[in-house]
Amino acid sequence: MPLPRSGPVRSEAARLSILEATAALIAERGYDHLTMEGIAARAGVGKQTIYRWWPSKGAVTAECLLEGMLAPGRFQLPHTGDVRRDLASWLGEIFGYLGSEQGESILRSLIGAAAENADVGRRLRDALFRADSLSARLTAAIGTTSNLPPDAPVEELAEALIGAVLLRALSREPVAPGDAERLLVAVLGR
């Protein structure tokens, strides 16, 4: 779902071209080398067209992520029936990606985009709590582990896990073996 805009109606073809160009440039050069000029040139649109719809390259990147154009198919939360194993695997994949230069810079850009534009922040949060999300996976696990009773605060547990990931990314703390499991113990208990 695109960010709501005021002003001229944007062309869906131009929007998709901009998002595809952004995703391709990030894959080729990384977020740190992404520029609005480069996106415009690759997409075949004017730079002002991009700025009319997105305030920054972080906002365009956030929309690419929300549209599934960055790292497609990655970070899908498994559902094997063992919530701890699924979450440990999922967190391990995220921590591994954040350990890469590209992953770290993309996450920092998303944090920056959310900080400068409340709508981007709301959309990122909504994406984390949609039907196939972390909170949905925790809800599905209610009753399968002693620390997930029927009244478990699944949204708060999901926020705690995501918050820990964000803090790790912001602090650039290296990930050590077992960190995902220790985080799960801290949030979900033993």
pLDDT band at 73 (very low <50, low <70, confident <90, very high): low
**Helices and strands (H, E) in the chain, number of each type:** 10, 0
How confident is the model at residue 36, as a pLDDT? 95
- Confidence band of 55 (pLDDT split at 50, 70, 90): confident
Query: Is the pLDDT confidence value at 1 over 60?
Result: no
The 10s digit of each residue's pLDDT in 124-138 is 777 766 656 788 888
Q: pLDDT class for 3, splitting at 50, 70, 90?
A: low
The predicted pLDDT at position 45 comes to 94
Rounded to the nearest 10 degrees, the angle between the axes of helix 83-98 and helix 154-171 is: 30
Output the pLDDT for position 43.
Answer: 96
Instruction: Give yes or no for a contact between 149 and 141, defined as CB atoms under 8 angstroms apart.
Output: no
User: What does the pLDDT read at residue 49?
Assistant: 92
What are the pLDDT digits (tens) for 5-25? 555 556 889 999 999 999 999
Phi, psi angles (nearest 5°) of residue 72: -60, 135
- Residue 135 confidence (pLDDT): 82
* Distance set, CA 98 to CA 8, 22, 177, 180 (Å): 37, 19, 14, 13
The stretch 158-174 carries a mean pLDDT of 82
Q: Which of 18-22, 57-61, 71-75, 160-164 has the lowest mean pLDDT?
A: 71-75
Distance between CA atoms of residues 68 and 62, nearest Å? 10
pLDDT score at 18: 95
Q: Give the pLDDT score at 46.
A: 93
- Each residue of 110-141: b (16+ CB within 10 Å) or e? bbbbbeebeebbebbeeebeeeebbbbbbeeb
Query: Does the pLDDT value for residue 123 go beyond 60?
Result: yes
What are the DSSP calls for 68-115, one per residue? T-SSTTTTPPP-SS-HHHHHHHHHHHHHHHHTSHHHHHHHHHHHHHHH
Residue 141 has what DSSP assignment?
T
**How many whole angstroms separate alpha carbon 149 and alpha carbon 146?**
6
Is it the case that residue 113 has pLDDT exceeding 80? no
